[in-house]
Chain A
């Protein structure tokens, strides 16, 4: 998958004559054997020249550059992998693999460069990647560094934080508490429901004991809990992560304002509500900020810092600095429905659903999405995150119709948690299995919409998903929700695991020439 570390390769057998080969790969260099009498290089290494029989051979540095002679893509590999024969610039052809590259775009004669990955015995093994993937990786690293540099500027006026209160002991609140605790912030966790609090407590304690056993001499900061919101008094930062209900959040903020000091920052983890409306209901709207974590909150590095209309600079600076000190990548975004990350994802998911009506199936859209560089496709993700149920609840409020999602919902297909969603799942397993019932429902949905289904080429699926992301990203930039195009690529990398070899949705748009 995208940003996952590659599994270590099997250990190669070392022999006396090829010691220089492994010494070179350890330095990040590829060396090949050259025959002096016939003046030709050959692959693979051996003491004698297989072209003329001479033992008068020597090791020579190879450029590590070459072109693709042929390749075959490995289906369902854990990361993009093609078995390939590469013609080195020095002449010989070698059987190897091309990894972490855009294999849907790979062609014979494409330029590739060597890179090295570790084997089980710590030997470094040569593999190849495309020059275009390398370019995308450089870009991804540069926009991330730029984003972090700009965030660092805020630290000068950030207020010190020693006590953090998290309100809400659901899965997001628990993950947020873990994020702070693992980075040495004392946390006070509040939830009106004692049972929820106890579940969260045992989950967090198990997590902390795992960390304690991994970190020598680390005991972890203090964790306290309460069912009484008044115990938030004395905090410098409160992060609210309760159910998405504006009135509930307004009530909580009102209660908090009664007990905390005027300088305490009130952060909300809302992903859908209007932060300006929430801030307006408080007496000090300048201290309200959105801190939008991504699930699982203690794992995903993205933190959208949502800047409301009346926010004080110190509030914004403190939120950004706190994000950095808990190891997150803060990206400042403006207020709009879904903010940047989810707004793009919702647009992408709508297009994905439309592709289903036109002729695609979830497994095709998801396969193509993985080939684009995402760790999972939209339907796998919706199944994992309970997206079908969220979709139904959202439309109850708006009155919008969606026969297919309703049909899935009515059949109890809520995703992984019920073992069936866009796919079915074996008990206790997470790998999606295509399901005939879903296929039948999709066919019926097309019929109801009066859409004649057609076979949609992978390339079209990809282009449409990429185009809709690019268009939504462009709108976010035009509306001033996000400052830089690169920030959107950072958002997809840090929030959803978009692979570096593919750069990000805005990078892809630039490659396609869709800038306008």
Chain B
């Protein structure tokens, strides 16, 4: 069945350090920002989606604070950075089934202003079932992704230079984004010269930590056609989970293999039809693995694909993260899903910065990997179509 869900509004909070603001306040600001972009109001919203970054009881607390009083469909799915791509998928099903007409997705958090560190807020680690057997293990994500990078290098000959190209491409784009946390262009040499933090990952292989957030408004087609924004249809979506499977796992591919296949099948297109992709870039290696998982290149060729300049808009075959991505622009609350969706929609609308806008393309893709690729994670893929 052809998806009837359209993206009506998007908003990325311009802050990167929200001193003095509450998390609830940021949720409201991004909600109202996306509704204004769509040309809708609070009273139009009847579906609401948020993750564990929302304080208190999530959907209930936020509905009350923001002022959403017509809700008939809510979803508090939390899957780390990919939560909001799952929300898009879930909202599309709800809209298709007539359970809601205007779906609002919000995300906001303040790890810097509230000194929350690198952990996800609202997620209780103390009862994790594996925890008693891993008390000696530093739990920071960079070590998990460092292991993924090392294994990828071992199996496919991927090099630190190839990983660095992902950051180089992101920095090429970030120079045009006045809100990006890091706007300086960097070279492969500079990435390799930055301090080693989780060997083989250098500091510049890691994303930024920022405060902020963003929101999307999804509506059914009839409503979208009454609004004055460019029409962007959700053409396909997929989600999948992969984990350690009792210790039988390998981690040179992710759940993106399955979430991507589902999304492409639903959209009825292939990776060759995509010329812009927002790919989750918690670390440079994350992008390399996802390029392979989604079929943009062969297994093991992600490093070569990146180092051939393919990720740079106007240069390569697949522009990636033209906002500067999590590596340079924004990774609010240690969850980069919302900026991924927002930039893909900007690209579909033709509203990306002129220096990085991909010309004449019909489809864009956004993809995220939530939690940790080396233990368990949830992938979400969405494909948008400019109509």
Binding site for B on A (CB under 8 A): 9-15, 18, 21, 40-46, 49-51, 69-75, 81-85, 88, 91-97, 99, 108, 117, 119, 125-127
User: Do residues A83 and B132 form an inter-chain contact, with CB atoms below 8 A?
Assistant: no
Specify the chain B residue showing the minimal Cβ separation from A83: B143
Q: Could you list some 29 contacts between A and B, CB below 8 A?
A: A12-B131, A12-B133, A18-B132, A21-B133, A42-B248, A50-B245, A69-B151, A70-B151, A70-B154, A72-B145, A72-B150, A73-B146, A73-B196, A74-B198, A75-B195, A75-B197, A83-B137, A88-B247, A92-B246, A92-B248, A93-B249, A94-B133, A95-B130, A95-B134, A95-B137, A95-B375, A96-B136, A96-B137, A119-B135
Specify the chain A residue showing the minimal Cβ separation from B129: A46
**Which residues in A have their C-beta under 8 angstroms from that of B134?**
44, 95-96
C-alpha gap A81/B145 in the complex (Å): 16
Specify the chain A residue showing the minimal Cβ separation from B196: A75
User: Do residues B132 and A13 form an inter-chain contact, with CB atoms below 8 A?
Assistant: yes
User: Do residues A42 and B246 form an inter-chain contact, with CB atoms below 8 A?
Assistant: yes
C-alpha gap A215/B147 in the complex (Å): 47
User: Do residues A81 and B138 form an inter-chain contact, with CB atoms below 8 A?
Assistant: yes
C-alpha gap A127/B197 in the complex (Å): 21
C-alpha gap A99/B137 in the complex (Å): 11
Query: Which of B246, B251, B374 contacts A43 (CB under 8 A)?
Result: B246
Query: Which of B146, B196, B247 contacts A83 (CB under 8 A)?
Result: B146
Instruction: Given A83-B147, A93-B248, answer yes or no on A117-B198 (Cβ-Cβ < 8 Å).
Output: no
**Which residues in A have their C-beta under 8 angstroms from that of B197?**
75
List 7 A-B pairs, minimum CB-CB distance, nearest first: A72-B146, A92-B247, A42-B246, A43-B247, A73-B199, A12-B132, A83-B143
Instruction: Given A96-B136, A125-B136, answer yes or no on A51-B245 (Cβ-Cβ < 8 Å).
Output: yes
Among B145, B196, B248, the one with the most A-chain Cβ atoms within 10 Å of its Cβ is B248
Count how many chain B residues have C-beta atoms less than 8 Å from C-beta atoms of the other chain: 38
User: Do residues A51 and B375 form an inter-chain contact, with CB atoms below 8 A?
Assistant: no
Among B131, B142, B146, B247, the one with the most A-chain Cβ atoms within 10 Å of its Cβ is B247
B324 contacts partner chain A, Cβ-Cβ < 8 Å:
no
Specify the chain A residue showing the minimal Cβ separation from B127: A13
Chain A nearest CB: distance from B164 CB in Å?
16
C-alpha gap A87/B112 in the complex (Å): 37
User: Do residues B135 and A9 form an inter-chain contact, with CB atoms below 8 A?
Assistant: yes
Total inter-chain residue pairs, C-beta < 8 Å: 121
Residues from 147 to 183 in B contacting A, C-beta threshold 8 Å = 147-151, 154
Chain A nearest CB: distance from B84 CB in Å?
27
B288 contacts partner chain A, Cβ-Cβ < 8 Å:
no
C-alpha gap A18/B133 in the complex (Å): 10
Instruction: Given A71-B147, A72-B198, A108-B150, answer yes or no on A91-B133 (Cβ-Cβ < 8 Å).
Output: no
Specify the chain B residue showing the minimal Cβ separation from A74: B138
B200 contacts partner chain A, Cβ-Cβ < 8 Å:
yes
**Which residues in B have their C-beta under 8 angstroms from that of A83?**
137-138, 143-144, 146-147, 198
B244 contacts partner chain A, Cβ-Cβ < 8 Å:
yes
Chain B nearest CB: distance from A7 CB in Å?
10
User: Do residues A75 and B135 form an inter-chain contact, with CB atoms below 8 A?
Assistant: no
User: Do residues A93 and B147 form an inter-chain contact, with CB atoms below 8 A?
Assistant: no
Chain B nearest CB: distance from A33 CB in Å?
9
User: Do residues B136 and A72 form an inter-chain contact, with CB atoms below 8 A?
Assistant: no
**Which residues in A have their C-beta under 8 angstroms from that of B245?**
50-51
C-alpha gap A42/B147 in the complex (Å): 20
Chain B nearest CB: distance from A45 CB in Å?
7
C-alpha gap A40/B247 in the complex (Å): 11
B201 contacts partner chain A, Cβ-Cβ < 8 Å:
yes
C-alpha gap A13/B145 in the complex (Å): 26
C-alpha gap A84/B147 in the complex (Å): 7
User: Do residues A42 and B247 form an inter-chain contact, with CB atoms below 8 A?
Assistant: yes
